Amino acid sequence: MEIKKATEAVSSGMPDGGQLEAINAQAKAKLTAEQVYVFSLRLCDDQVDRDFERFDNAALPELAKMFIGKTGIVDHKWSSDNQVARIFAAEVVSGERVSFIKAWAYIRRGGEADEIIADIEAGIKKEVSVGCVMGRSICSICGSDYGSCGHHKGGYYDGQLCVAILTEPMDAYEFSFVAVPAQRDAGVLKGLGTGKGNLKELAEQFGVQGEYRALYKEAELGRQYARQIRSDVVRLCLSLELGVDEPTLRSVASCAGTEDLLKLRSALEARLAESMPIVSQLGGSFSKGEIVESGFLI
């Protein structure tokens, strides 16, 4: 999943000794403190955004490492002419209610770069958007891969809000100064895939929307079938009186794969048939031969 997340740039100024050492680890020619300008960035956090998604707190440390050495550009235009800054340090900062990646970047002073620095100091260039790739999106309700279960982001299940948890960081490739963030506050823009667009976008790009719609309908039928199997498993477990309540059974069923659920349903049906055999209410009987009084026969 390609991620773009709105953040803020906070001005700082001249680097200290430790920062300058980290900057020179990125630079080919040794730079002096007077030659560079440093500023801090608040990158990805673990809060739920308006797309009902959030970064996994456990994924932030690894993602922070991936941002070190990555470039800063303008308006997400991937060209060397738009390179204006580079991240030289990043760490996870944890507060009472939020954890986020705080990064430090530097700009080489002189020429057009001085205008960017002035805009940062003036609070004009304040918002930035970052790009990264996450390997998995997990449903907060059942813990399975989001999209493989019947839960939907933004919905409530037994009073619990469903969100997609972004985890398993794969890459971090840039941050960009933007005039208007793609989303409000700490919003994110995400698409399935690895930077190549999601399936719907690819269908539009190559003019195969009809095939995409057909596949989507088939997938929806498959999801309905999977939901029915889960319901069958829960019903059979309750019928067998296993001592487990319904919410727990539904949670367990939501985490299992369809093939496993099919096997479980078959086993439960066999067990139910053994413990509660079907018995006809009309028992069989042997009729007695009819006795006919021969005296009345003609």
- For the chain (length 298 residues), average pLDDT per consecutive 10? 53 79 88 90 83 90 92 65 83 88 89 84 76 89 89 92 93 76 34 46 66 80 87 89 86 83 90 76 55 56
Longest CA span, the chain: 136
Backbone dihedral region for residue 96 (phi beyond 0: left; psi -120 to 50: alpha; all else: beta):
alpha
Please, are residues 107 and 15 in contact by the beta-carbon 8 Å criterion?
no
Does the model's pTM come out above 0.85?
Answer: no
Token duo for residue 24: 């020179």
Cα–Cα distance, 282 to 294 (Å, whole number):
34
Helix (H) or strand (E) holding 129: strand 127-139
Q: CA-CA distance, 254 to 248, in Å (whole number)?
A: 10
Can you give the pLDDT at residue 184? 40
Predicted local confidence at residue 157, as pLDDT: 93
Backbone angles phi, psi at 223, to 5 degrees: -65, -40
What is the Cα–Cα distance from 152 to 200, expressed in whole angstroms? 18
What is the model's pLDDT at position 129?
75
Pair 6, 188: CB distance under 8 Å: yes
> Computed from CA positions of residues 5, 52, 63, 39, in that sequence, does the dihedral angle turn out positive or negative?
positive
**130 in Cβ contact with 43 (< 8 Å):** yes
Q: How far apart are CA 121 and CA 123, in angstroms?
A: 5
Pairing of strands 36-45, 127-139: unpaired
